[in-house]
């Protein structure tokens, strides 16, 4: 039984708390949050204690921590948790600074402690099925990947300002998906971005609509499309063209009812946002972490994976700024 | 080159005229209609002559006639054309009276003249593909057939009164489809019908909504659903459950555009009615007739097929009236 | 907090045990089963006690029982639980005998104890969405309902022999769905059935493929199709034609990945069987029961509903035997 | 009645010949081809004369020419036809050289003769429906366009060598589609291309897989994906994200039959290639040309449109060569 300390009791922390509590191999022992009331409420619902992050890390009975705090604390907490010998599952991104993330990796690597980064989409059963079919050679050699990722609505500009920008905050998931599916880093990144959804996002120096093209050493190509706004909900699709066919992971819909009237034929929208769409992915992610810790096998998503995605985000940010392709250094 | 006389210049006659004219192996020589103006207009558009039906049948240079007149004239015209040695393609149904249709078959059989009945749906590429897949054993043994056939809107009650009723006028196509797919006549017919769409149809002694169940000697089953009104257009589907799977022929849509908005995800309606949905089927039907006449091979849909469908229509009419199953005599 | 005794630790009992344990308003207190080992295993996994059914009913600290035992014990257990003042959720069917079920209702009605029958499909989010759209008038007046319900594979003949037959055992769900959607009982039932899947089922006096037509007093119609075998998985669909349109609840698929190759375009199969397809329905069903008990409101599915479905099953069994329509007495 | 001379009796010339012959407002008068046998065969099938191109242009009874010869002859023939006062429908591309095409436009502009370029995809009913929905504001402001265009199989390398390269030969259609949907030229073009399908294509200096990103002055973006090989057939889709929703034009399938077995659920492939997929588009294209000539209204696709697409092809070719974005000069 893995005794788990949860750092961060916000929206995503609450998702993890429920999954930790329900998993037969883990137990939510303690919750920490700078917002004491949030920590209290979450802990109470699961019979866990409220503790400080320091106290959790110092508690030898706690085997693992789940880091769901604000991004600027991730690297420090990963390092502290690793130093305390605790297995770590940390939300993405590792850090807004690639250099800082690399330093974190260097420190943690010495400790030998398992660290997993929370790229939950790898555990979506649909994306996982696409990956499995590709790896099984069902479409021959994968040549052209397309990732579609549109949010239902943009975040407040106040959030955008501290987010590190669309490429680090939002497209980071899609960069990881490209790394996951293609199995290697690209050699160059070309990004185009615009503020079409909200001019205030542009005024804050960020973009809300972007297309990024990744070129691989062997000539393969990936293209990622992001928009901060899809009026119809959360649009999350993959498409992989191979030498012998095409794989498409389509959206998950809210229900299967189709209505046909004089006005046309209509059906359900996609699941609204990540809490709904990736509900089962979060469950599977936690299960994979617990299993790897238990078995002593490598984590399915490593700190290295977190840094690879961040490297692409940094390159894309630079490319969008300069209007030129940027060479990737892994 | 088949020289063709067209009897009947109404809506369906016009469809046939265009197909006869476009087919490289046939030519529209003459048109007859009790409505002289209609015959004139149609003939003029295709460079054909306007003649009486009698004159067409007497003209030795004409090899074939297409009968698209009102149902009550079909049997007489088939017999006269056969007597004149002309190949015949006659619109469905053969007759409203099963006895009269059987008498017609007896006469025509002696003549040896090829007669095809216009069950156009057999030539729909989708239904034909389903039939071919079933015949190829792709779903093992076919066990349960479902035919869905909803018209966009009911005809005027004046038409209903002379139509012979829903089972002879509308479901006749679906009875033929069951005979076509299952490859044999059922042993009993159970029909339920109501006038839900238009009470005047009920007052006229007919129904506008019906479900008919067909039971075959070997225990297989077919079920046919009819409605005179589908607000969303012409609904024409088949579903065949076999021992190793299911085949479904879905509707043909007006276009492939899908729109996703806050209101939901919507797409095109089915093709509106039979002129649109079965456009290519009418072309293929005519081609099959010409080819069979040319090659001297049996017609792909025979007068016997027309009588078999009519036998089911008569049984269903009786079953709906009495509320009891009716035994089919082929 | 509802303290719950579970009677029956078989396959469906295990599903309910997990849902009872996870619901924040209920707690699995005790488990009873004639198979002691099964009860032990299930109780241990949820920290519950193993008790006899009698002991559970006698325990005043237990507020509710969930009856998931074999069908022949349902009526007795419902009566005993009601006499003991416990809220009851009982799996379908109420009984194989309509008379016995009616007697049970009479007894329970006096007690005033809430009894819910486990027609889980009413809680499927897709069927519920279809029902809601129909009730909201989105397709006008509902006129023709079609229920498709095919199991992936037939049960062993040993089970078939004691099952009460396809109409009571399998189609009972579909009869309830018709009652649920149409909102009233039909006036007559016409059934056709065959043993096409397994001749041993026929030898046992049952059918494995059936079509039942229901006629309502106002002329509306419903048709139910059942097969014990669908090679592609569990086929569970609804289709409702109304005066202004059509509603279809399509199958739930295993994933959203579509593969296009030279061999064609292929996608996932339907969820395999009821444990997968109706997973969320069982959760919602339990939640609805707990909420109704807590609030003192009527149960969403009553013992009367169980009897109504059984009345249709009995009528269909008789109709399939005699080949004639059977009048329904509610 | 438009009397038409057809220049070029190859594969696409044959498609046009049939459409010219069937249109009630046009007549195929003469056919010219350097391959005399091809011209003979085609002319014979439609009752047309075989003539030289010069003779056709000199014949005052001929009102229009359709140019379906090899690309290197297009500009000369357009100029000669315009000088002879004949309306022109010319296959795409106008020329492999942008400068030459511009010179052609300058000459033709003086003549005032109507010239249409054969971007047939604008007349596909699905793409036209998407364009109409966008123009009607159904998804608000169009912000991000995606064009997918995969051929079933690459052409021979001998063809590739004289084709002008993928961007001028194949993606020219997609550039025109971007211009058509977005209604203006982009300001910059970024292209990435690889030879993944056939190394001989790479050895010939061309690519067979490419992604091009177009940036518009107002920040809007378009992305085009091309591959010379899709094992499943011709993949032709559009996707347009707007401020209030998404429009998708999906592939046209060979039929509507879906098969469900233990192996999964499978359906038809897309129509195989352009002759099948765009059959109706070619018919509509010719109809639009005839109607514009008859009415004296502007042609729906102009020589200017041909040059605009060519400008993007030239920019993309340059961008793929240099690895840098290229500024577009309209």
Q: Are residues C208 and C78 in the same domain?
A: no
**Which DSSP category does B197 fall into?**
S
B interface test, pick of D131, D253, D255 with most B CB neighbours within 10 Å: D255
Q: Are residues A148 and A269 in the same domain?
A: yes
Q: Which residues of A touch D146 (CB under 8 A)?
A: 225
Across A92-112, average pLDDT: 94
Examine the pLDDT at B69 and tell me if it is beyond 90.
yes
Q: Which residues of B touch C230 (CB under 8 A)?
A: 241, 245-246
Q: What is the CATH number of the domain that holds A100?
A: 3.40.50.720
Count of beta carbons in the 10 Å neighbourhood of residue D47: 10
Q: Between residues 212 and 231 of chain A, which touch chain B (CB distance below 8 Å)?
A: 230-231
A295 in any annotated domain: no
Q: Do B192 and C209 touch (CB under 8 A)?
A: no
D88 in any annotated domain: yes
Residues D102 and D314: their CA atoms lie apart, in Å, by 13
Q: Do B266 and A269 touch (CB under 8 A)?
A: no
End-to-end CA distance of chain C: 37
Q: Do A144 and D209 touch (CB under 8 A)?
A: yes
Q: Is A123 on the interface with D (CB under 8 A)?
A: no
C interface test, pick of A235, A255, A264, A269 with most C CB neighbours within 10 Å: A255
Q: Is D162 on the interface with B (CB under 8 A)?
A: no
Q: Do A264 and B268 touch (CB under 8 A)?
A: yes
| Closest among B180, B172, B184, B176 to B132, alpha carbons compared | B180
Summarised one tens digit per residue, pLDDT across range C197-239 is 999 999 999 999 999 999 999 999 999 999 999 999 999 999 9
Distance of CA D154 to the CA centre of its chain: 17
Give the pairing type, strands B87-91 and B188-194. unpaired
Of the candidates B196, B219, B242, which has its C-beta nearest C220's C-beta? B196
Residues C94 and C101: beta-carbon distance below 8 Å: yes
D296 in any annotated domain: no
Summarised one tens digit per residue, pLDDT across range D169-184 is 999 999 999 999 999 9
Q: Are residues A212 and A315 in the same domain?
A: yes
Q: Which residues of B touch C211 (CB under 8 A)?
A: 144, 213, 221, 223
Residue-level pLDDT at C110 = 87
Summarised one tens digit per residue, pLDDT across range A181-232 is 999 999 999 999 999 999 999 999 999 999 999 999 999 999 999 999 999 9
Residue-level pLDDT at C28 = 97
C297 in any annotated domain: no
Number of domains in chain C: 2
Residues in contact with C317: Cβ distance below 8 Å, sequence separation at least 6, in sequence order: C165, C167, C168, C191
Q: Are residues C203 and C67 in the same domain?
A: no
Residues C115 and C107: beta-carbon distance below 8 Å: no
Q: Is B133 on the interface with C (CB under 8 A)?
A: no
- Say what percent of chain D tops pLDDT 70: 100
Summarised one tens digit per residue, pLDDT across range D289-327 is 999 999 999 999 999 999 999 999 999 999 999 999 999
pLDDT-based confidence at residue C170 (cuts at 50, 70, 90): very high
Q: Are residues D323 and D180 in the same domain?
A: yes
Q: Do C247 and A256 touch (CB under 8 A)?
A: no
Residues B247 and D261: their CA atoms lie apart, in Å, by 9
Q: Is C232 on the interface with D (CB under 8 A)?
A: yes
Residues C266 and A192: their CA atoms lie apart, in Å, by 34
Instruction: Tell me which of B113, B131, B149 is where a domain ends.
Output: B113
> Does the predicted interface ipTM exceed a cut of 0.90?
yes
Residue-level pLDDT at D224 = 98
**Which DSSP category does D165 fall into?**
-
Q: DSSP letters of D12-40?
A: HHHHHHHHHHHSTTEEEEEEE-SSHHHHH
- Please give, rounded to a whole number of angstroms, the shortest distance from the CA of C183 to a CA of chain D: 33
Q: C267-281 burial by CB neighbour count: b if 16+ within 10 A, else e?
A: bbbbbeebeebbbeb
Q: Are residues B142 and B99 in the same domain?
A: no
φ, ψ at D208 (rounded to 5°): -125, -5
Residues B279 and B12: their CA atoms lie apart, in Å, by 11
Residues D80 and D57: beta-carbon distance below 8 Å: yes
Give the pairing type, strands D2-7 and D26-32. parallel
Residue-level pLDDT at B330 = 64
Supply the range of the domain harboring residue B89.
2-113
β-pair partners for B90: B67, B117
Q: Which residues of B touch C189 (CB under 8 A)?
A: none
Residue-level pLDDT at C330 = 64
Asked if the peptide bond before residue D215 counts as cis, ω within 30 degrees of 0, the response is: no
Instruction: Tell me which of A113, A147, A176 is where a domain ends.
Output: A113
Residues C26 and C47: their CA atoms lie apart, in Å, by 13
Three-class secondary structure of residue D154 per DSSP: coil
Angle between helices A303-322 and A98-111 (to 10 degrees): 170
Examine the pLDDT at A330 and tell me if it is beyond 80.
no
Examine the pLDDT at B291 and tell me if it is beyond 90.
yes
Of the candidates D192, D221, D246, which has its C-beta nearest A190's C-beta? D192
Name the residue of chain B whose CA is nearest to C247's CA: B232
Name the residue of chain A whose CA is nearest to D199's CA: A219
Of the candidates A196, A211, A219, which has its C-beta nearest D223's C-beta? A211
Q: Match 């002691």 to its residue by tokens.
A: C36
Name the residue of chain B whose CA is nearest to A256's CA: B265
B interface test, pick of A230, A265, A273 with most B CB neighbours within 10 Å: A265
Residues C238 and C130: beta-carbon distance below 8 Å: yes
Q: Do A190 and D195 touch (CB under 8 A)?
A: no
Q: Do A267 and B269 touch (CB under 8 A)?
A: no
Residues C129 and A255: beta-carbon distance below 8 Å: yes
Residues A131 and D88: their CA atoms lie apart, in Å, by 51
Across D41-54, average pLDDT: 95
pLDDT-based confidence at residue D110 (cuts at 50, 70, 90): confident
Q: Are residues C177 and C76 in the same domain?
A: no
* Mean pLDDT estimate for chain A: 97
Q: Match 């100029």 to its residue by tokens.
A: D79
Q: Is A246 on the interface with D (CB under 8 A)?
A: yes
Name the residue of chain C whose CA is nearest to B228's CA: C243
A294 in any annotated domain: no
Residue-level pLDDT at B37 = 96
Residues B95 and B104: beta-carbon distance below 8 Å: yes
Q: Do C258 and A250 touch (CB under 8 A)?
A: yes
| Sign for the pseudo-dihedral over CA of A131, A133, A136, A139 | negative
Examine the pLDDT at A152 and tell me if it is beyond 80.
yes
Residues C139 and C246: beta-carbon distance below 8 Å: yes
Tokens of C146: 């079609």
Summarised one tens digit per residue, pLDDT across range A1-34 is 999 999 999 999 999 999 999 998 999 999 999 9
Q: Are residues D24 and D78 in the same domain?
A: yes
Q: What is the CATH number of the domain that holds B252?
A: 3.30.360.10
D243 in any annotated domain: yes
- Please give, rounded to a whole number of angstroms, the shortest distance from the CA of A145 to a CA of chain D: 10
Q: Are residues B41 and B182 in the same domain?
A: no
Q: Is D157 on the interface with A (CB under 8 A)?
A: no
Half-sphere exposure of C172 (CA within 13 A, CB side): 27
Three-class secondary structure of residue B287 per DSSP: helix
Q: Do B232 and C245 touch (CB under 8 A)?
A: yes
Predicted TM-score (pTM) of the model is 0.96
D157 in any annotated domain: yes
Tokens of D229: 């090989």
Q: Is D256 on the interface with B (CB under 8 A)?
A: yes
Examine the pLDDT at D330 and tell me if it is beyond 80.
no
Residues D228 and B208: their CA atoms lie apart, in Å, by 53
Half-sphere exposure of C296 (CA within 13 A, CB side): 0
Name the residue of chain B whose CA is nearest to C219's CA: B194
* Mean pLDDT estimate for chain C: 97
Q: Is C250 on the interface with D (CB under 8 A)?
A: no
Q: Do C266 and D266 touch (CB under 8 A)?
A: yes
Across C183-210, average pLDDT: 98
β-pair partners for C215: C188, C221
Residue-level pLDDT at D66 = 98
| The Cα angle at residue A175 between residues A170 and A176, in degrees rounded to 5 | 105
Three-class secondary structure of residue C192 per DSSP: strand
Q: Which residues of B touch A267 (CB under 8 A)?
A: 264-266
| Closest among C66, A26, D254, A148 to B129, alpha carbons compared | D254
Q: Are residues B312 and B167 in the same domain?
A: yes
For residue A29, CA distances in Å to A1, B269, B328 come to 11, 55, 74
Instruction: Tell me which of D48, D79, D113 is where a domain ends.
Output: D113
Summarised one tens digit per residue, pLDDT across range C39-50 is 999 999 899 999
pLDDT-based confidence at residue B110 (cuts at 50, 70, 90): confident
Of the candidates D125, D245, D256, which has its C-beta nearest B261's C-beta? D245
Q: B48-75 burial by CB neighbour count: b if 16+ within 10 A, else e?
A: bebbebeebbebeebbbbbbbbebebbb
Q: DSSP letters of C76-145?
A: HHHHHHHHTT-EEEEESPS-S-HHHHHHHHHHHHHHT--EEEE-GGGG-HHHHHHHHHHHTTTTSSEEEE
Q: Which residues of A touch D232 (CB under 8 A)?
A: 245-246
Q: Are residues D72 and D196 in the same domain?
A: no
C271 in any annotated domain: yes
Q: Is A267 on the interface with B (CB under 8 A)?
A: yes
Q: Is B266 on the interface with A (CB under 8 A)?
A: yes
Summarised one tens digit per residue, pLDDT across range B139-166 is 999 999 999 999 999 999 999 999 999 9
| Closest among B169, B259, C214 to D129, alpha carbons compared | B259
**Which DSSP category does B34 fall into?**
S
User: What Rg do the C-alpha atoms of chain D give, in angstroms?
Assistant: 20
Examine the pLDDT at A275 and tell me if it is beyond 90.
yes
Q: Do A232 and B262 touch (CB under 8 A)?
A: yes
Q: Is C22 on the interface with A (CB under 8 A)?
A: yes
β-pair partners for B326: B189
Q: Which residues of D touch A195 (CB under 8 A)?
A: 219
C interface test, pick of A148, A234, A257, A269 with most C CB neighbours within 10 Å: A257
For residue C298, CA distances in Å to B197, C113, C114, C291, D53 come to 36, 10, 7, 10, 87
Residues in contact with A185: Cβ distance below 8 Å, sequence separation at least 6, in sequence order: A179, A308, A311, A312, A328, A330
| Closest among D38, D30, D32 to D10, alpha carbons compared | D38
β-pair partners for A50: A31
Residues in contact with C289: Cβ distance below 8 Å, sequence separation at least 6, in sequence order: C64, C87, C89, C116, C299, C300
Q: Is D248 on the interface with C (CB under 8 A)?
A: no
Examine the pLDDT at C314 and tell me if it is beyond 70.
yes
Q: Do B265 and A262 touch (CB under 8 A)?
A: no
Residues A284 and D279: their CA atoms lie apart, in Å, by 48
Q: Is A136 on the interface with C (CB under 8 A)?
A: no
Residues A250 and A237: beta-carbon distance below 8 Å: yes
Residues A307 and A120: beta-carbon distance below 8 Å: no
Q: Are residues D261 and D314 in the same domain?
A: yes
Examine the pLDDT at D329 and tell me if it is beyond 90.
no
């Amino acid at each position: 039984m893995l005794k788990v300390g949860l750092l961060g009791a916000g929206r995503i922390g609450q998702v993890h708390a429920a999954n930790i509590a329900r998993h037969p191999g883990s137990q939510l022992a303690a919750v920490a949050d700078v917002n004491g009331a949030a920590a209290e409420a979450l802990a109470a619902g699961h019979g866990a204690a409220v503790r400080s992050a320091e106290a959790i890390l110092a508690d030898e009975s706690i085997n693992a921590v789940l880091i769901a705090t604000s991004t600027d604390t991730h690297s420090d907490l990963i390092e502290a948790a690793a130093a305390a010998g605790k297995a770590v599952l940390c939300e993405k991104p590792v850090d807004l600074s690639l250099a800082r993330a690399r330093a974190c990796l260097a420190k943690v690597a010495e400790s030998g402690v398992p660290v997993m980064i929370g790229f939950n989409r790898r555990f979506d059963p649909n994306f996982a099925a696409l990956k499995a079919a590709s790896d099984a050679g069902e479409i021959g050699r994968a040549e052209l990947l397309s990732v579609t990722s549109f949010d239902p609505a943009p975040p407040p500009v106040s959030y955008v300002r501290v987010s590190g920008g669309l490429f680090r905050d939002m497209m980071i998931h899609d960069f990881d998906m490209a790394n996951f599916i293609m199995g290697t880093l690209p050699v160059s990144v070309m990004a185009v971005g615009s503020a079409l959804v909200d001019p205030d996002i542009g005024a804050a120096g960020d973009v809300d609509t972007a297309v990024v093209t990744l070129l691989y050493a062997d000539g393969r190509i990936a293209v990622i499309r992001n928009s901060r706004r899809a009026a119809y909900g959360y649009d999350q699709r993959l498409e992989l063209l191979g030498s012998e066919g095409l794989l498409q992971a389509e959206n998950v819909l809210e229900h299967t009812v189709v209505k046909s009237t004089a006005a046309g034929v209509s059906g359900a929208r996609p699941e609204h946002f990540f809490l709904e769409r990736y509900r089962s992915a979060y469950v599977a992610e936690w299960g994979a972490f617990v299993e790897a810790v238990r078995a002593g096998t490598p984590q399915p998503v490593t700190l290295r994976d977190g840094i690879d995605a961040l490297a692409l985000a940094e390159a894309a940010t630079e490319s969008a700024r300069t209007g030129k392709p940027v060479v990737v250094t892994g």
